[in-house]
Amino acid sequence: MDNLYAGSERRDSERLEFSTPLGYKVCKRETVDKLLKGYSVDISRSGLLCNIKERVSKDDLIWLSFNRDTLDFCKELEKRVFIYQNGIIGNVTRVDEDAPGTFNVGIRFIVREEKEFSNIYSEVHFLKKDFDNKNE
């Protein structure tokens, strides 16, 4: 199989170092009521690397909340990605143990043009239920 990329970098977009606190929720019935905390490591137009304490699984859907105003390209990003309750929805693409008890997690942002968007909604609707309950 021919490698489509030259060199060691295989990403479609350049990553920028971007360390900021973030909140996240794993879009599963048993975990969506927990707002967890971590921090971003780097970011690109298509995803983000973050460091968190909870183990997540590859292909989990994650709701991310972080200060996007500090990056110029986030204005463009917000036009493309799936934003729900002011957070970005992403798909876990990799999980690597960093130090004991912490994990570097690669997340690909879900874009509005996703082919299986209906499957994403069935996972994310737990966020709405949780948000509505807290605002009653």
Q: What is the pLDDT of residues 12-38, one digit of tens each?
A: 668 888 898 999 999 888 887 899 999
pLDDT band per the 50, 70, 90 thresholds, residue 69: confident
Ranges of each domain in the chain: 16-134
pLDDT band per the 50, 70, 90 thresholds, residue 56: very high
Helix (H, G, I), strand (E, B) or coil at 75: helix
DSSP annotation of 78: H
Over range 49-69, report the average pLDDT.
92
Residue 88: CB atoms within 10 Å: 24
pLDDT of residue 65 exceeding 80, the answer is yes
Q: What amino acid occupies position 35? A: L
- Whether domain 16-134 has CATH 2.40.10.220: the reply is yes
pLDDT at 18: 86
How many whole angstroms separate alpha carbon 21 and alpha carbon 95?
19
